Amino acid sequence: MKRELQQPTADFTRPYPVFTPEMRATHTILIPDMLPWHFDLLVHVMRRAGYKVEVLHNEGREVIDEGLKHVHNDTCFPALCVIGQYLNALKSGKYDPEHTAVLITQSGGGCRASNYIPLIRKAMAAEFPKVPVLSLNFSGLEKGNSLQLSLGDFVKLAYAIFYGDLVMTCFNQTKPYEKEEGSAARVRVQCVEKLKRALDDGNYKKFRKCVAYVLDAFSSVAVTGEEKIKVGIVGEIYVKYSPLGNSHLEDFLLSEGCEPVVPALMDFILYCVINNVNDAKLYHKGRKTAWIFAIVYKWLYGKQKKLIALMKKQGRYEPLHDFEHLRRCADKVINQGVKMGEGWLIPAEMAALTETGTQNIVCAQPFGCLPNHIAGKGAVRALKQLYENVNVVAVDYDPSATRVNQENRIKLMLATARENRLNEQAKKTDRT
Partner 1 sequence: MARYLGIDVGSTTVKVCVLDEAGAVLYSSYVRHYSRVRECVLAELEKVSSFGSAFHACITGSAGLGIAQRGKIPFVQEVQAAYGAIRRLYPDTDVAVELGGEDAKIIFVTGGTEQRMNGSCAGGTGAFIDQMATLLDITVEEMDALALQAERVYPIASRCGVFAKSDIQPLLNQGASKADISASIFQAVVDQTVSGLAQGRRIKGKVLFLGGPLYFLKGLRRAFQKTLALDDEHAVFPETAPCFMSIGAAIYAAQEREELLEELRARLAVVPDGENITVGEPLFADRAEYDAFIARHMRSDLRFADIHTYSGDAYLGIDSGSTTTKLMLITPDCRILYSHYQSNNGQPLDIVADRLREIYSLIGGRIVIRGACVTGYGEDMMRAALKVDFGVVETMAHFKAALHFNPDVDFIIDIGGQDIKCFKVKNRAIDSIMLNEACSSGCGSFIQTFAKAMGMEIEEFSRLGLFAKHPVELGSRCTVFMNSSVKQAQKEGASVEDISAGLSSSIVKNAIYKVIRARTPDELGQHIVVQGGTFLNDAVLRSFEKETGKEVVRPAIAGLMGAFGAALYAMENTPEEKLISSLVTEPELRAFSYASRSVTCKGCTSKCNVNILTFADGRRFISGNKCERGAGLPVSKNLPDLYQFKYEKLYSLPRENVPGARATVGLPVQLVMFEQLPFWTRFFETCGFQVALSDRSSRELYFLGQHTVASDTACYPAKLMHGHIESLLNRGVDFIFYPCESYNLDEYDSVNHYNCPVVAYYSELLKANNERLTEDNFVMPYIDPNDEATTVRALHRALKKYKLSSSLIRRAYRAGLEALEEYHAEVVARGRKILADAGREGRQVIVLAGRPYHADPEINHGIGKLLNSLGIAVLSEDAVFGEGEQVKVSVLNQWTYHARLYRAAEFVSRCKNVNLVQLVSFGCGIDAITTDEVRSILESRGKLYTQIKIDEINNLGVVRIRLRSLLAAIEEQGRKA
Residue type, 230: K
Candidate residues 284, 288, 428, 431; the one interacting with partner 1 per rule CB under 8 A: 284
In the complex, the smallest distance separating the C-beta of residue 314 from partner 1, rounded to whole angstroms, is 38
Quick one: which segment of 23-31, 61-69, 167-175, 206-214 binds partner 1 (CB under 8 A)?
61-69
Cα separation, 174 vs 89, whole angstroms: 33
Would you give the DSSP letter of residue 139? S
Can you say whether the dihedral through the CA atoms of 16, 21, 22, 26 is positive or negative? positive
Binding letters toward partner 1, positions 105-134, x by CB under 8 A: ---xxxxx-xx-xxx-xxx--xx-------
Give 164 or 376: the residue with its C-beta nearer to partner 1: 376
367 binds partner 1 (CB under 8 A): yes
Cα separation, 159 vs 163, whole angstroms: 6
In the complex, the smallest distance separating the C-beta of residue 383 from partner 1, rounded to whole angstroms, is 9
Are 324 and 304 spatial neighbours (Cβ–Cβ below 8 Å)? Answer: no
379 binds partner 1 (CB under 8 A): yes
Cα separation, 370 vs 401, whole angstroms: 18
In our burial notation (b when 16+ CB lie closer than 10 A, e otherwise), range 383-413 reads beeebeebbbbbbbbbbeeeeeebbeebeeb
Give 253 or 414: the residue with its C-beta nearer to partner 1: 414
Cα separation, 100 vs 132, whole angstroms: 8
Number of residues that bind partner 1 (CB under 8 A): 92
Give 5 or 151: the residue with its C-beta nearer to partner 1: 5
Candidate residues 48, 57, 72, 313; the one interacting with partner 1 per rule CB under 8 A: 72
427 binds partner 1 (CB under 8 A): no
Phi, psi torsion values for 122, nearest 5 degrees: -60, -45
Candidate residues 80, 266, 334, 351; the one interacting with partner 1 per rule CB under 8 A: 334
402 binds partner 1 (CB under 8 A): yes
338 binds partner 1 (CB under 8 A): yes
Cα separation, 146 vs 137, whole angstroms: 7
177 binds partner 1 (CB under 8 A): no
201 binds partner 1 (CB under 8 A): no
